[in-house]
Structure 1
Amino acid sequence: MAQEAAEAKINALSVELKLLRKGVGVQAKNLPGVVGEELRAVCGVREDDNPGTVRAKVLAGLRALIDKLPESQRKTARIVLGFGTGADQRYTARLELLGTGADRNIRTMQRRADDVVYLIAEAAYETPSASAGSLVSSEGPWHTSALAVRLTLSGAAAEVFETRRIVSHVAGLEEIEHGVSLARPVSTTGEPDLDGLGIDVVSGGEVHSVRMVSSTRVAFRLRPPRSLDAGEQHEFFFRIRLEELPAPFYCCTPEFPCESFELNVRFDRQEPPQRIWRIDGDLSKDAGDPVPARKPLFLDNAGEVHTGFHDLQPARSYGVGWQPAH
């Protein structure tokens, strides 16, 4: 009987996920209104949750379930549900992404999509205590929903403008941890000064607990104007001015998952780089290595490159690297 009950739940959740994947999938504007009862239970959605909270809980829960799948199935699962795909890319168009080589039979791709939906539903009921609370907490107290960085280079100097939107996973979130790598070692004795390090918080909160975690990396905590509820979003914007970049690359290496990262780099027109490449999910120790084969990027007429990333994984590096002019 227990086995039959479990299979019934898995099948019911599979049906809900098949409805959810239609259209643009999880990117649908009406997502909070179409989430079924089984998925709400799995993701810990409460009756009094507002639409923003429902969306945040469902997205976090689905990401956690996808991460439970075998690595070979995760990309398929993200495409099927609409994670990291174009905002206007509907289900039938996403199905085409599942075809490989000559194997583009629509029935085959539909079968793959159905199989991965069942695996997601199965992962939700691996243990009797599966719930959104455990799913969300496995991703940390918050995650980044959107990160946009504009990097401007002038000779050796650099200026970074960063806008970061975070989503709380817990009630009463009062601060987030942040860190910046510096080019030159500084004293690790005494309390460091953000102004002296060229870091300005322009809007979205205040900084405290500034400290050097190594001779070339400063960490600090950003406090929003008020504590955040679970599922609530908040945006910070700050500027960093560096006399010199640590190395000829700029990366985001998130501690917690990041939904999207948009990076625009404006190079010095007097000293354009010899070549530029995209760093996509490298191990942090390999991010600055110019040897591995990577996708090349090219300057536009304004001397800039722009690239974007979706569904960034913790402890992996994403960004742009380049070979200086000399």
Structure 2
Amino acid sequence: MEGLFGKLVSELRTLRKGRGLFVGQISDRVGPALREVCGVVEGDGPAEIRRKVAERLEGLASGLPEDLRVALMAAFGIDRDARLPFYQDRVRWAADRIHRDDRTARRRIDEGIDRIAELAASSSGGTDSLVSEASVAGWHTDELKITLVLDQVVPEALEFRRVVAERDHVSELDLAMTLTASPEREQPTSIDELGVDVFYGGTLIKKTLESTDRFGLVLALPEELRRDDRHDFALRYRATNGAIQPHFVCVPKHRTDLFELRIRFDLDRLPSHIWRLSEAFQRDVDDPTPTGETLWSNAAGEVYTTFRQLTPGRAYGIRWTTDTDDN
């Protein structure tokens, strides 16, 4: 991690240690990045530093999901009831409040720190700031509708998306698709294992492997968008190796207002269990013990669900298992 975002994450992880905001030498614990985004200036005493940092962090966390907000307020000792002397004690307090175990509470704190660091960096006017990905992209998703078809020889996903420009001169859209490989697989994912076709709305000018299983895509638009312009496009994804893992989720990088997901299963291999995943962590998608709302397929083997106002970085979608998977 580089830039203001990385510095903020590092400093926030240091600040949460010990007594958090109520550590004795608070001026030594609050680094230059935090001072910048919290408005701490030379000459501020300990009480003023604590007040400015607490107010800024509380404001940044106010718009986060409740579990992240509660975990963060405990981690830094901002919540009066969580002003315990040791970080582990505050983790345990947070775990009890969000009805999770200590390990999950720690993950919520880490996730919350990343989110408020993104928000703080994006709102900073400094030239070193790492602005949010949505601001850099200059667009957000108004509607995303995906149909995953699993009763064909090659699994296919049809994507219909409407985006809205947040600034003038938007000429390209950066997209991504993850094709999760089986845990038993020894060979890395090949660039050829994901086929991408454009039905309308642009020209695919780039397809790369950004990680071991995530494909980065760039769609060039037919013409530049101006601020508030809307644009529709459609893509088809094909898992050319014929195999996908038993889940399909959207993990938005940018603001996404509506996500509709429909999956058509093979009637000869219907899932024994289907779960709806909402605001899940990416690492939870493959958790050996699935959780989430139970869904049922209809007589055609189809299941449908919708999500609104998605949180960037969280996973939304459907997970399933078959009888053979359970054995």
Name the TM-score, length of structure 1 as normaliser: 0.55
2:155 partner SS: strand
- For the 8 Å contact 1:155–1:271, the answer to whether it is kept is no
When residues 250 and 156 of structure 1 are mapped into structure 2, their CA distance, relative to the original with a 3 A threshold, is farther
2:171 partner SS: coil
Determine if the alignment matches structure 1 residue 69 to structure 2 residue 67: no
Q: 2:254 is matched with which residue: 229, 246, 256?
A: 256
Letter in 1 for 2:270: P
- For the 8 Å contact 1:136–1:169, the answer to whether it is kept is no
Aligned to 2:197: 200
Residue 67 of structure 1 deviates from its aligned partner by 7.4
- For the 8 Å contact 2:134–2:253, the answer to whether it is kept is no
Q: 2:162 is matched with which residue: 156, 160, 165?
A: 165
Post-superposition CA distance 1:268-290 (Å, at most 9, x none): 10011110000001011112325
- For the 8 Å contact 2:162–2:232, the answer to whether it is kept is yes
Determine if the alignment matches structure 1 residue 266 to structure 2 residue 264: yes
Q: Which runs of 5 or more residues in structure 1 are unaligned?
A: 1-65, 75-126
In structure 2, what is the Cα distance between the partners aligned to 1:230 and 1:203?
21
Letter in 1 for 2:225: L
When residues 67 and 208 of structure 1 are mapped into structure 2, their CA distance, relative to the original with a 3 A threshold, is farther
- For the 8 Å contact 2:134–2:254, the answer to whether it is kept is no
Aligned to 1:302: 300
Q: 2:230 is matched with which residue: 227, 230, 233?
A: 233
Q: 1:152 is matched with which residue: 149, 154, 163?
A: 149
Determine if the alignment matches structure 1 residue 279 to structure 2 residue 311: no
When residues 293 and 141 of structure 1 are mapped into structure 2, their CA distance, relative to the original with a 3 A threshold, is same
Letter in 2 for 1:167: V
Post-superposition CA distance 1:114-162 (Å, at most 9, x none): xxxxxxxxxxxxx9x9xxxx99975851110000001111378411100
- For the 8 Å contact 2:144–2:160, the answer to whether it is kept is yes
Aligned to 1:312: 310
In structure 2, what is the Cα distance between the partners aligned to 1:213 and 1:137?
18
Q: 1:322 is matched with which residue: 317, 320, 323?
A: 320
Letter in 1 for 2:250: C
Post-superposition CA distance 1:232-268 (Å, at most 9, x none): 1111101111133441000000000100000000101
When residues 166 and 290 of structure 1 are mapped into structure 2, their CA distance, relative to the original with a 3 A threshold, is farther
When residues 137 and 288 of structure 1 are mapped into structure 2, their CA distance, relative to the original with a 3 A threshold, is closer
Letter in 1 for 2:237: I
When residues 137 and 271 of structure 1 are mapped into structure 2, their CA distance, relative to the original with a 3 A threshold, is closer
When residues 70 and 252 of structure 1 are mapped into structure 2, their CA distance, relative to the original with a 3 A threshold, is closer
When residues 157 and 267 of structure 1 are mapped into structure 2, their CA distance, relative to the original with a 3 A threshold, is same
In structure 2, what is the Cα distance between the partners aligned to 1:183 and 1:293?
19
Aligned to 1:114: none
In structure 2, what is the Cα distance between the partners aligned to 1:244 and 1:230?
40
- For the 8 Å contact 1:281–1:316, the answer to whether it is kept is yes
In structure 2, what is the Cα distance between the partners aligned to 1:72 and 1:175?
31
Q: Give the count of matched residue pairs.
A: 199
Residue 211 of structure 1 deviates from its aligned partner by 1.4
Name the TM-score, length of structure 2 as normaliser: 0.55
Letter in 2 for 1:223: A
In structure 2, what is the Cα distance between the partners aligned to 1:273 and 1:216?
24
In structure 1, what is the Cα distance between the partners aligned to 2:263 and 2:198?
20
Aligned to 1:180: 177
In structure 2, what is the Cα distance between the partners aligned to 1:316 and 1:283?
5
In structure 2, what is the Cα distance between the partners aligned to 1:136 and 1:67?
17
Question: Percent identity at matched positions?
Answer: 30
Q: Which runs of 5 or more residues in structure 2 are unaligned?
A: 1-58, 68-122, 126-130, 182-186
